[in-house]
Amino acid sequence: MKLLHIETLRRGVDNDPKSSYAANYDEAKAGPRGKLPDPLLMKNGKKVTTAEMWWTKRRPEIVAGFDREILGRVPGVIPKVRWELVATSTDDNDGLPIVKKRLVGHATGAAGTAPVHMGLDLNVPADAKRPVPVIIELALTSEVLTALAKRYPEMHLDQKPAWKQIVIGKGWGYATYFPTSVQDDNGDGLTRGIIGLANGGQPRRLNDWGVLRAWAWGASRVLDYLETDSSVDAKRVGIEGHSRYGKAALIAMAYDPRFAVAYISSSGAGGAKLYRRHFGEEIGNLAGTGEYHWFAGNFLKYDGPLNDEDLPVDAHELIALCAPRPVFIGAGATQGDGWVDAKGMFLAEVASGPVYRLLGKKDLGTTQFPAIETALVDGDLAFRQHSEGHTPAPNWQTFLSFSERYFKSSAGAAQ
């Protein structure tokens, strides 16, 4: 804040309806505020009319905007990750035999900086005759899951979710990547983890990367490993994340063209939700003490002297950076998951559609917010709002069916 010459930030909203800072859940007051940036209009005012203009001119402008103002730039030099296979075993997944691999990715830097040890579990069908597609899940560590289950027994945290059985039944594999093994989810850790390691343990500059970008970087390093594993078809790797990990999964999909498909669950503000929407969580929350570390330092000024409508980019353009690859966005009902603003994410998807159409792909096919439980899956952009709370579980089957269309279409080349 001193570097930005900001003395105070605007307070975030909360979920106490009696509070003077109560979050808005009235659609009539939601906005969006201001005009959304046009993803196909260059900074010089020229309209993007060809795929070549998108790839060589407009897309780099959007990336630069996110790098500088929201997510932060990844350093040009980062220690390499060396993957170590620490354990291999066989197991049974609802009657289906699997091979389990536990891996650790090591990154070391200059003397005096703490090394990073990335956690990754890979599970593939034991009887696979050829390399298989894999879904990467960004997940909480087992220790954190256990602690949450003890503290919040009503959450029913499932450590053996049904989607993994479905994936194995399809003959695919799944990988579990633990983002906090790359970078802690707090501001105190910014001089440690991969951010601190790359920066020699020094504080960040204003446009240096934040934690969300570091978690996404880690997902790309997981894909580096999968490209070397003979049991995996690295051309058919999907990525999934929920809530804050949904934000990171969307960023990974946007920045790394090797990911084939994405399931972005309840990512909300800082993810797929439009910043220019006054509904649920807002920039004041993102820039506050609990979440500012997710972003570049420059982001704070949009909760100080500037506002969300001053942002040079918005969430629809982050989705557009994923084009032409398929993206499925999901969330729960407003009563239970309203904080993430399902409609705000739907509207962002709609606004990214022109880029998909320019690149010869299908958008959502509608601009009308669908009824709850209605799956929009006919295009390369997909959406579904389920009727439960803040959980990815009810949308997994829809996403996996959506993914299967793409995995099957590329299976011939992989075999």
Does some domain include residue 134?
yes
33: DSSP letter: -
Positions of the chain with pLDDT under 50: 152, 154-156, 158, 412-415
**Structural domain span for residue 353:** 37-414
Q: How many domains does the chain have?
A: 1
Beta-carbon count within 10 A of 278 CB: 18
Q: What is the pLDDT of residue 104?
A: 97
End-to-end CA distance of the chain: 54
* Domain CATH for 396: 3.40.50.1820
Q: What is the pLDDT of residue 144?
A: 58
C-beta contacts of 367-371 below 8 A and 24+ residues apart:
369/343, 370/346
Torsion of CA 279, 352, 302, 30, to 10 degrees: -20
Q: What is the pLDDT of residue 393?
A: 96
d(CA 53, CA 64): 16
Does some domain include residue 99?
yes
Does some domain include residue 271?
yes
Rounded to two decimals, what is the model's pTM?
A: 0.95
Q: What is the pLDDT of residue 160?
A: 60
- Tell me the pLDDT tens digit for each residue of 292-344: 999 999 999 999 999 999 999 999 999 999 999 999 999 999 999 999 999 99
Does some domain include residue 316?
yes
Does some domain include residue 23?
no
Does some domain include residue 231?
yes
Could you tell me the CA-to-CA distances from 123 to 100, 159, 171 in Å, in that order? 5, 15, 11
Confirm if 220 and 239 have CB atoms less than 8 A apart: no
Taking alpha carbons only, the member of 393, 391, 285, 273 closest to residue 341 is 273
d(CA 346, CA 29): 17
The alpha-carbon radius of gyration of the chain (Å, integer) is 21
- Tell me the pLDDT tens digit for each residue of 130-143: 999 999 999 976 66
Does some domain include residue 372?
yes
273 three-state secondary structure: coil
Taking alpha carbons only, the member of 128, 132, 136 closest to residue 164 is 136
Does some domain include residue 1?
no
The answer to whether the peptide bond before residue 32 is cis (omega within 30 degrees of 0) is yes
